[in-house]
Amino acid sequence: MFKRNSIKKRISHKPYESRVYHNPYFQKQKKNYRKIGWGIGSLIFVFPFLTVYLLTYPAFNISHVQVVGLEPETRPQFEENINDYFHTTHALFFENKNRFLFSTTALQKSLSKKFTFEFLDIKISRQTVSLHLKERETEFMWKTGSTTYLVDKEGILLHRVDTEQKNVVPLPSRTPQKPLFVDRNNTPVETGEHVLSEKEIQQIFVFIETLKTQSIFTKEIQIDQLAGKWRGILTTEGYTILFDPSSDVLAQSEKLKTLLRDTIKDPSKLKYIDLRFGDHLYYK
């Protein structure tokens, strides 16, 4: 009997327990979709005006540029390239001089197209952009066609030089004393490219110095990349000395000295001397 009553009791409680009840004093709040819609609409309406304000208000524009480490000769062209970047527009109206559009990475890429640096550090603080840099030192000049570049000791083209055309670096006053390398193939090149290996450059300069001890002075160094080992020194007397910088340049210099002393009495009549084939010397 007790068992039957307990079963009935559980059955009678089950419908009650399965219902969901709410406290009348704590009713669930319904979402006000109208307010949410007004909020989203307001944001959509205000956002374009806020964007225009942030991208055009003068207080957010970069007004000062500080450059440390720049050579005086390259400063005018360097500043021109920075101004070109600042005045690049987005959506026809917004310029990179706005600090929200300004990018240190983009400016570095823009400058690296015209210049080659040992390092370049760009920072922005409020309305000021600071550039701390070091340019690579010029070792010689490289001429291909009608275009001339400054080149460092590693054979990297630093930047283009010219005295007339715009958008190129003016020819520095000190560069005429730098040796002139002439590409006989007139191969098109760009800033940042390698034109010669560092080891070959060193050997060429060693050979030039040994020629000076023989009172032979260099007018230009001629390079033919398509003719194998074709490297020539055009002397101030008008003849060319062909040599091989990949072999012993000191030994080649000694052979040249012997040839000029014992065989060639009047160098002014020479067109060329070829030292590239070991003990076999050729001249005309």
> Around 266, how many Cα atoms within 13 Å sit in the side-chain half-sphere?
2
Average of per-residue pLDDT across 226-250: 89
Is the CB of residue 128 less than 8 Å from the CB of residue 66?
A: yes
Look at residue 5 in the predicted model and tell me its pLDDT.
Answer: 54
What are the angstrom distances between the C-alpha of 232 and each of 37, 161, 206, 245? 80, 24, 14, 10
Tokens found for residue 191: 């800033």
More confident position, 218 or 32: 218
Question: 61-116 pLDDT, tens per residue?
Answer: 888 889 988 877 778 888 888 888 988 887 667 888 888 888 889 999 988 888 88
